[in-house]
Structure 1
């Protein structure tokens, strides 16, 4: 940044911003809170060391991650990002359960609304079933003779040998 306005980190740390300032590309002067939270959580020295160890093409992603984690730590000092992730995972689980219940209810409603399909009956069986002669004789088919051998109580069993 050199002669123009110092980057957010140099401004916060009250030092002169050098041309090769490692923070300048990632912490512009118009967003001072971005660096303030990162500095508060990680410290300027640690952030500087982390950025110097990374290749230039990975630094922007690293700064983005540091800013996200720092903001999460400011909101939730104990859990940080993990608290947010855990909350979102619980919310996803609850929504998946609600979705499963809704899908089950839809399936039940669809099954109730579908007409039952008749089984396929052969034409000669239809004529046998529909003949008036068989309808008149129906009571005799339903009348079963009672037997004294039928076990009324399932727990009371009689031996076949006695």
Structure 2
């Protein structure tokens, strides 16, 4: 159960009582209902509960954050999700590397002009 006696976002969404040992309460607070809604839409509440329960307590917050991140991007881009972000970042890195190589070539050309 959430501090103050309220229900977590998961229990509110699922319309159930929030038990004191609720697996969701620490990771899906009532003030961010969309976080759980997206995770539930992509993974399902029972699957998320199973995943969290199988992890050591010290890894659950990070897992919930990862599930939330992936779910948010999967809702925004159902085909590629996070893979689309990774692909775009790789393209940006390649573009930056290409631009760096061009700039270095120009710089070396200027230096050679000055030296000659």
Same fold (TM > 0.5): yes
Alignment of 1:1-162 (within 5 A): 1=1, 4-114=5-115, 116=116
Task: Report the CA distance between 1:111 and its aligned residue.
Answer: 1.1
Count matched residues: 115
Task: Report the CA distance between 1:113 and its aligned residue.
Answer: 1.6
Task: Report the CA distance between 1:79 and its aligned residue.
Answer: 1.1
Runs of at least 5 residues in structure 2 that lack an aligned partner in the other structure: none
CA distance in 2, matches of 1:28, 1:75: 22
Moved over 6 A (4+): none
Compare the two structures and name the one with the higher helix fraction.
Answer: 2
Q: Which residue pairs with 1:143 in the alignment?
A: none
CA distance in 1, matches of 2:110, 2:76: 45
**Structure number with bigger Rg:** 1
Structure with higher RCO (Cα < 8 A, 6+ apart): 2
Task: Report the CA distance between 1:75 and its aligned residue.
Answer: 1.1
TM-score normalised by the chain length of structure 1: 0.68
CA distance in 1, matches of 2:26, 2:33: 13
Runs of at least 5 residues in structure 1 that lack an aligned partner in the other structure: 117-162
